[in-house]
């Protein structure tokens, strides 16, 4: 039972260690993490931007974004390189906070997020990761640039003035030509500033600007031009907390019913009462007057251990020989005072073994090691047995 | 004051108001309400100290038997008493079920009994009876521990009593029905009867034969009204355990067996148990009463971790008997203890009385002495041989003083002792 328990414990500890290693070494999972130098991280782009002399400020919560943008500064570009954790409320807050900044760049946002940003743009997934040619010439984008790893396309609704689109998605027509430029959405939408929002640039790729994708086609140049348009860059990497909606209470407690906390307190009180109920014993413990009972053979065993620890072979052998001699004397009808030689002669006569052999056994030199002592003890009992059954 | 499990449910019931009005103050108010309810219930609970409890319990029983401890609980109060009663006993009293449910209407009484199967010899004293009575709501209870005296004396199992019939048969053979082959000093003339083939010709009474035509023999009855003093050593050496029982239990078995047989042989028996002091002294004329007294008096005696003071015990023997007696010293042959304690006083005792030393031998030592398997075994065997030789030396020293020494394992010691006694009786050597 104990072995099974030990095995179970070992397995549990092993599993725990594996889990700890897995958690510690797993990639953060968040694309464009500014500190991640892995394939999905954004450390390469960030490093190059800093080399270019751009002051990059990394924040991970919408509150920090609001604080950082308190004074309206034209020289700031706000980049949201990963929109996965950007909640609708966070996006709305971002819209408000970013009024007056130089540019807001959103990578692969969803329609909801775009709506919350106050833009009239619809996001549509492509379902593939493809390179697209620019076919336009606006500030950060030159004609002939190619953007790789585009995964989203965007369509601007309505006829707002000044909306510019680049990287249009083209569909191959049956006769081999390309048709419908702009009908199928585009990989980049640039929206001018309106009273609702700052200038917004929506780019339909995240993977294209990661450490892995940044070197594809013209991605690096596009990224630098998009992100490095101003002397300062606010790199907003939304944390998990920004995903939550803010209505119905702030933070995580809004998800739980309001009576839960008092109920937990009540249950705690119940546990205290349980302790009181179970803790009151029905009368005192009864004392058992135990008699002192030691095993009688204990002293003898202890003496044996003493002999052994002292390696007192001469004494042990002498005691065994003396005991055998006493029994042989009784058995062979000799008196207690008879010399050893007489006993040896009588034993030799009874057993048929030579006198000198018997004499050597009962009065020889003491054994020199434990094996010899065991042998002597066995020989003595053999001799006695033979003498007892002539 | 005690709470019941209903109190927990009462507290947890507060979940309803908490859901309806989810604030911390609701919790506090509810807990206050619970406290008030518990307080009222406690106030209304009947007081357990008012109950009248009496106990009846068998005063003594033999180890291995069972008995009942019965409590008669009377409720004189105006309210129904509902609750739990615990009849507490020490663990070795072997109480099977100590908790009893009480449900006594006002003015009535009930009987609860706790079965006891003691696991050890000695006196078992009942612990206080604890009663917990619930209030009318059953969330709180009043509790009190009441002293209700009671005691069970667990007697020695006396396993060798099964040998009594066979040894009584031997005793009857000695008793006047056969012509004695050997006449000792103490044998007494009993009667004359016709010669039967097989009788010792030396016991033919020629004078009587001359008066009649047939051969007549004299018969002798073994000596009677001799004194037998059994001294039980309850010192530290008797505390040693052999197999499952302490040496003292085997010694008591032997002492009780001899008491039974000697009582039947119409000898005066004294049983003395002691170590530094005399802890029990049983004597009596009536043989049945004597055995009963001896069993009862020896029951609570356990070995103590002190050295025996043989001077005190010898003085007690001398005070008890003035003329020559058979003195049986039941003590383990522990050389160091006996050579320093008993040996100095033994010559004086042996000069006045016939002394027998009965010792409980340990079969484990003998087993140890046969060990030949490994070096450890052989060292242990040497130690066992050493123990044996020391015991032998002590026994030799005793025999040199004319003292008989019996050194037997626990099961055989009672028989050996009684057989020795019968042999002495047959030879009229008492």
Give the domain-ending residue among A243, A264, A281: A243
pLDDT at B427 > cutoff 80: no
- Report the residue of B7, B381, B382 to disrupt the A interface, i.e. the one with the largest count of A CBs within 10 Å: B382
Confidence of residue A290 (pLDDT cuts 50, 70, 90): confident
Question: Is the model more confident about B164 or about A134?
Answer: B164
Query: Domain spans of chain B?
Result: 1-155, 176-221, 224-426
Comparing B395 with A220, which gets the higher pLDDT?
B395
pLDDT above 60 for B147: yes
Same domain, A210 and A309: no
pLDDT at B187: 60
Q: Is-contact B183 B220, C-beta < 8 A? A: yes
In a domain, A237, yes or no: yes
The second-level CATH assignment, the architecture, of B224-426 is 3-Layer(aba) Sandwich (3.40)
Instruction: Give pLDDT tens digits for B200-240.
Output: 787 788 888 888 888 888 776 666 778 999 999 999 999 99
CA A297 to chain centre: 57
Residues of chain B with C-beta less than 8 angstroms from the C-beta of A261: 22, 24
CA distance A248 to chain B (A): 16
Higher pLDDT, A159 or B104: B104
A231 and A313 housed in the same domain:
no
Can you give the residue range of the structural domain that contains A380? 305-388
Residue with tokens 């953060």: A28
pLDDT at B190 over 80: no
- In this complex, the residue of A263, A286, A293 whose CB is nearest that of residue B239 is A293
Is the residue at A266 inside a domain? no
Q: How near does any CA of chain B get to the CA of A79, in Å?
A: 43
The answer to the question of residue A146 being in a domain is yes
Q: Is the pLDDT of residue A178 over 90?
A: no
A310 close to B (CB below 8 A):
no
State the pLDDT at residue A245: 57
Q: To the nearest whole angstrom, how far is the Cα of A350 from the nearest Cα of chain B? A: 22
In this prediction, residues B330-336 reach a mean pLDDT of: 90
Confidence of residue B157 (pLDDT cuts 50, 70, 90): very high
C-alpha triplet A237, A240, A246: angle, nearest 5°: 105
- Say if the Cβ atoms of A280 and B247 lie within 8 Å: no
* Residue B305 sits at the chain A interface (C-beta within 8 Å): yes
- Considering the domain architecture, whether residues A37 and A136 belong to the same structural domain is answered as yes
CB A149 within 8 A of CB A219: yes
> E strands, B170-226, where?
188-194, 216-221
The total domain count for chain A is 2
Distance of CA B162 to the CA centre of its chain: 17
Reported as a single tens digit per residue, the pLDDT across A15-74 is 888 888 877 665 556 778 888 888 888 888 888 888 888 888 888 888 888 888 877 677
What are the backbone dihedrals phi and psi of residue B239, each rounded to the nearest 5 degrees, phi first?
Answer: -75, -15
Please tell me whether residues A179 and A89 are part of one structural domain.
yes
Is any Cβ of chain A less than 8 angstroms from the Cβ of B146? no
Q: Which residues pair with B67 in a beta bridge?
A: B116
Say whether both A192 and A97 belong to one domain.
yes
b/e for A129-165, b at 16 or more Cβ within 10 A?
eebbbbbbeeebbeeebebbbbbbbbbbeeeeeebbb
Torsion of CA B254, B256, B258, B262, to 10 degrees: 180
- Measured CA to CA in angstroms, residue A215 lies from A148, A207, A220, A255, A371 at distances of 9, 11, 6, 43, 82
Q: Which of residues 243-302 of A touch B (CB under 8 A)?
A: 257-259, 261-263, 265-267, 269-270, 273-274, 276-277, 280, 282-284, 286-289, 291-301
pLDDT of amino acid A179: 56
pLDDT of the residue at A251:
44
Residue B365: its chain A contacts at CB < 8 A? 297, 300
In Å, what is the CA distance from A292 to each residue of A127, B244, B245, B423? 86, 13, 12, 36
Residue A197: left if φ>0, alpha if ψ -120 to 50, beta else—which one?
beta
The pLDDT tens digits of the residues spanning B175-189 come to 655 544 455 545 666
C-alpha span between B119 and B117 (Å, rounded): 6
CB–CB contact A326 B386 (8 Å)? no
Please write down the HEC assignment for all residues of chain A.
Answer: CHHHHHHHHHHHHHHHHHHHHHHHHCCCCCCCCCCCCCCCCCHHHHHHHHHCCCEEEEECCHHHHHHHCCCCCCCEEEEECCCCCCCHHHHHHHHHHCCCCCEEEEECCCHHHHHHCCCCEEEEEEEEEEEEECCCCCCCCCCCCEEEEEEEEEEECCCCCCCEEEEECCEECCCCCEECCCCCCEEEEEECCCCCCCCEEEECCCHHHCCCHHHCCCHHHHHHHHHCCCCEEEEECCCHHHHCCCCCCCCHHHHCCCCHHHHHHHHHHHHHHHHHHHHCCCCCCCCCCCCCCEECCHHHHHHHHHHHHHCCHHHHHHHHHHHHHHHHHHHCCCCCCCCHHHHHHHHHHHHCCCHHHHHHHHHCCCCCCHHHHHHHHHHHHHHHHHHHCC
CA distance B13 to B380: 69
DSSP-derived secondary structure for B312-332: HHHHHHHHH--S--EEEEE--
Other Cβ atoms within 10 Å of A278 Cβ, number: 11
Q: Are residues A107 and A198 in the same domain?
A: yes
Minimum distance, in Å, between the CA of residue B270 and any CA atom of chain A:
26
pLDDT at A173: 59
- What is the phi/psi pair of residue B136, to 5°? -65, -30
Domain B1-155 top-level CATH class = mainly beta
What's the pTM value of the predicted model, to 2 decimals? 0.64
Candidates B24, B382, B389; nearest CB to A304: B382
Q: Which residues of B touch A258 (CB under 8 A)?
A: 22
Does any CB of chain B come closer than 8 Å to the CB of residue A371?
A: yes
DSSP type of residue B186: S
Has residue A286 been placed in a domain?
no
Residue B399 pLDDT > 90, yes or no?
A: yes
pLDDT tens digits for range A234-266? 888 887 777 775 444 444 445 678 888 899 999
Q: What is the rounded distance in angstroms from the CA atom of residue A79 to the CA atom of residue A65?
A: 11
| Cα four-point dihedral sign A65, A67, A68, A71 | positive
8 Å CB contact between B343 and B397: yes
Bridging pattern class, strands B240-242 and A294-295: parallel
For residue B46, the model assigns a pLDDT of: 93
Assess if residue A41 is contained within a domain: yes
Q: Which residues contact A16 (CB under 8 A, 6 or more apart)?
A: none
State residue B314's pLDDT score. 94
Report the sign of the C-alpha dihedral through residues A58, A61, A62, A68, in that order: negative
Instruction: Tell me: do A213 and A101 sit in the same domain.
Output: yes
Instruction: Share the mean pLDDT of chain A.
Output: 83
A315-344 residues touching B, CB cutoff 8 A: 315-317, 319-320, 322-323, 326
Whose tokens are 């620019």? That residue is: A134
> Cα separations (Å) of B129 from B62, B80, B84, B143?
25, 19, 11, 11
Q: What angle do CA A223, A227, A228 make, to 5 degrees?
A: 105
Distance CA A220, CA A227 (A): 10
Q: Looking at the complex, does the CB of residue B101 fall below 8 Å from at least one CB of chain A?
A: no
Residue B244: count other Cβ atoms within 10 Å of its Cβ.
8
| pLDDT value for B253 | 95
* Residue A205 structure tokens: 């790729």
pLDDT of residue A274 exceeding 90: yes
Mean of pLDDT values over A144-173: 79
CA angle B293, B294, B296 (to 5 degrees): 65
Contacts with B140 from chain A: Cβ below 8 Å: none
pLDDT band (50, 70, 90) for residue A175: low
Return the percentage of chain B with pLDDT > 90, whole number. 69
Examine residue A3 and state whether it is found in any structural domain, yes or no: no
What was the pLDDT predicted at A27? 52
Q: Measured at the alpha carbon of residue B199, what is the angle toward residues B194 and B205, in degrees to the nearest 5?
A: 55
Is A228 in the same domain as A330? no
Q: Residue A112 falls within a domain, yes or no?
A: yes
Q: Are residues A51 and A131 in the same domain?
A: yes
Mean pLDDT in residue range A337-361: 89
Does B365 contact A287 at a Cβ distance shorter than 8 Å?
A: no
Tell me the average pLDDT of chain B: 90
pLDDT of residue B298: 93
* Sequence-ordered list of residues with C-beta below 8 angstroms from that of B319, at least 6 positions apart, any chain: none
Nearest CA in chain A to B360: A296
d(CA B385, CA B391) in angstroms, rounded, equals 10
Do A225 and A319 reside in the same domain of the chain?
A: no
**Looking at beta carbons, which pairs linking A348-354 to residues 24 or more positions away fall under 8 Å?**
A350/A386, A350/A387, A350/A390, A351/A383, A351/A386, A351/A387, A351/A390, A353/A383, A353/A386
Is the pLDDT confidence value at B413 over 70? yes
- Of A192, A213, A243, the one marking the end of a domain is A243
The whole-number pLDDT of residue A247 equals: 45
Contact at CB, B302 and A291, closer than 8 angstroms: yes
In chain B, residues with a C-beta closer than 8 Å to the C-beta of A315 are: 382
Both tokens of residue B276? Answer: 């530094």
Burial, A337: exposed, middle or buried (Cβ in 10 Å; 0-12, 13-18, 19+)? exposed
Name chain B contacts of A263, Cβ cutoff 8 Å.
15, 18-19, 22
CB contact under 8 A, A286 and B89: yes
Q: Do residues A238 and A331 share a domain?
A: no
* In B15-136, alpha helices (H): 15-20, 24-44
Q: Which 3-state string (H, E, C) describes B251-287?
A: HHHHHHHHHHHHHHCCCEEEEEEECCCEEEEEECCCH
Structural domain ending residue among the three candidates A243, A273, A291: A243
Which two structure tokens, joined as six digits, stand for A348? Answer: 């030799």
Do A188 and A309 lie in one domain? The reply is no
pLDDT of A248 reads 40
Confidence of residue A388 (pLDDT cuts 50, 70, 90): confident
Question: Does A287 contact B375 at a Cβ distance shorter than 8 Å?
Answer: no
Half-sphere exposure of B363 (CA within 13 A, CB side): 9
Chain B residue with the nearest C-alpha to that of A307: B379
Q: What is the DSSP letter of B65?
A: B
| Predicted confidence (pLDDT) per residue in B229-286, tens digit | 999 999 999 999 888 888 999 999 999 999 999 998 888 999 999 999 999 999 877 7
| Distance (Å) from the alpha carbon of B334 to chain A's nearest alpha carbon | 10
Could you tell me what percent of chain B has a pLDDT over 70? Answer: 95
């Amino acid at each position: 039972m104990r072995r099974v328990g030990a095995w179970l414990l070992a397995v549990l500890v092993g599993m725990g260690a594996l889990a700890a290693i897995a958690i510690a070494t797993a990639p953060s999972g968040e694309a464009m993490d500014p500190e991640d130098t892995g394939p999905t991280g954004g450390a390469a782009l960030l490093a190059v931007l800093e080399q270019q002399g751009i002051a990059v400020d990394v924040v991970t919560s919408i509150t920090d974004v609001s604080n950082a943008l308190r004074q309206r500064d034209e020289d700031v570009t706000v980049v949201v390189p990963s929109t996965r954790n950007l909640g609708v409320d966070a996006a709305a807050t971002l819209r408000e906070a970013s009024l007056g900044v130089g540019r807001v760049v959103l990578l692969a946002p969803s329609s909801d997020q775009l709506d919350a940003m106050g833009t009239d743009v619809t996001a549509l997934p492509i379902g593939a990761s493809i390179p697209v040619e620019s076919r336009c010439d606006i500030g950060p984008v030159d004609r002939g640039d190619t953007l790789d790893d585009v995964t989203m396309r965007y369509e601007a609704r309505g006829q707002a003035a000044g909306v510019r689109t680049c990287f249009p998605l083209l569909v191959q027509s049956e006769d081999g030509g390309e048709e419908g430029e702009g009908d199928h959405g585009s990989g980049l939408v640039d929206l001018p500033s309106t009273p609702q929002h700052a200038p917004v640039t929506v780019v339909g790729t995240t993977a294209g600007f990661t450490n892995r994708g940044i070197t594809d086609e013209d991605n690096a140049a596009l990224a630098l031009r998009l992100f490095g348009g101003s002397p300062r860059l606010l790199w907003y990497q939304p944390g998990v907390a920004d995903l939550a909606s803010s209505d119905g209470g702030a933070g995580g407690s809004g998800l739980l019913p309001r009576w839960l906390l008092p109920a937990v307190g009540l249950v705690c009180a119940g546990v205290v009462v349980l302790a009181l109920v179970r803790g009151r014993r029905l009368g005192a413990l009864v004392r058992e007057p135990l008699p002192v009972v030691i095993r009688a053979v204990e002293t003898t065993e202890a003496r044996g251990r003493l002999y052994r620890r002292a390696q007192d072979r001469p004494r042990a052998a002498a005691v065994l020989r003396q005991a055998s001699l006493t029994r042989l004397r009784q058995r062979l009808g000799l008196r207690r005072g008879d010399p050893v030689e007489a006993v040896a002669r009588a034993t030799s006569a009874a057993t048929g073994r030579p006198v000198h052999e018997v004499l050597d056994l009962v009065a020889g030199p003491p054994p020199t090691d434990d094996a010899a002592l065991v042998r002597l003890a066995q020989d003595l009992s053999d001799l006695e047995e033979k003498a007892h059954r002539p | 004051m005690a709470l019941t499990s209903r109190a927990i449910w009462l507290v947890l019931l507060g979940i309803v108001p908490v859901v309806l009005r989810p604030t911390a103050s609701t919790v506090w108010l509810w807990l206050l309400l619970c406290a008030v309810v518990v307080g009222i219930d406690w106030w209304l609970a009947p007081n357990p100290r008012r109950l009248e409890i009496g106990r009846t319990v068998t005063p003594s029983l033999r180890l291995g038997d069972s008995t009942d401890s019965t409590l008669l609980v009377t409720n004189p109060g105006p309210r129904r008493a509902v609750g739990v009663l615990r009849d507490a006993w020490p663990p070795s009293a072997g109480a099977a079920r100590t908790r009893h449910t009480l449900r006594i209407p006002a003015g009535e009484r009930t009987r609860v009994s706790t079965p006891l199967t003691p696991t050890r010899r000695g006196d078992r004293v009942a612990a206080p009876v604890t009663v917990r009575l619930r209030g009318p709501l059953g969330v709180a209870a009043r509790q009190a521990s009441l002293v209700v005296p009671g005691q069970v004396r667990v007697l020695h199992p006396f396993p060798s009593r099964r040998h009594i019939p066979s040894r009584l048969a031997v005793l009857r053979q000695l008793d006047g029905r056969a012509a004695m082959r050997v006449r000792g000093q103490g044998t007494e003339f009993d009667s004359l009867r016709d010669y039967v083939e097989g009788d010792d010709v030396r016991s033919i009474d020629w004078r009587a034969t001359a008066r009649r035509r047939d051969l007549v023999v004299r018969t002798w009855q073994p000596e009677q009204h001799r004194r037998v003093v059994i001294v039980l050593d309850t010192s530290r050496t008797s505390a040693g355990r052999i197999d499952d029982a302490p040496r003292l239990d085997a010694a008591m078995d032997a002492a009780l067996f001899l008491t039974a047989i000697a009582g039947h042989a119409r000898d005066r028996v004294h049983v003395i148990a002691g170590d530094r002091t005399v802890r029990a002294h049983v004597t009596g004329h009536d043989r049945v009463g004597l055995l009963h007294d001896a069993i009862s008096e020896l029951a609570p005696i356990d070995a103590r971790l002190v050295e025996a003071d043989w001077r005190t015990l010898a003085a007690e023997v001398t005070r008890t008997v003035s003329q020559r007696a058979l003195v049986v010293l039941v003590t383990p042959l522990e050389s160091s203890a006996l050579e320093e304690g008993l040996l100095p006083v033994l010559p004086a005792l042996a000069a006045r009385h016939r002394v027998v030393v009965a010792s409980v031998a340990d079969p484990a030592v003998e087993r140890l002495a046969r060990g030949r398997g490994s070096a450890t075994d052989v060292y242990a065997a040497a130690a066992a041989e050493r123990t044996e030789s020391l015991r032998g030396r002590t026994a030799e020293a005793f025999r040199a003083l004319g003292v008989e020494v019996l050194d037997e394992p626990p099961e055989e010691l009672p028989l050996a002792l009684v057989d020795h006694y019968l042999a002495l009786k047959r030879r009229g050597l008492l």
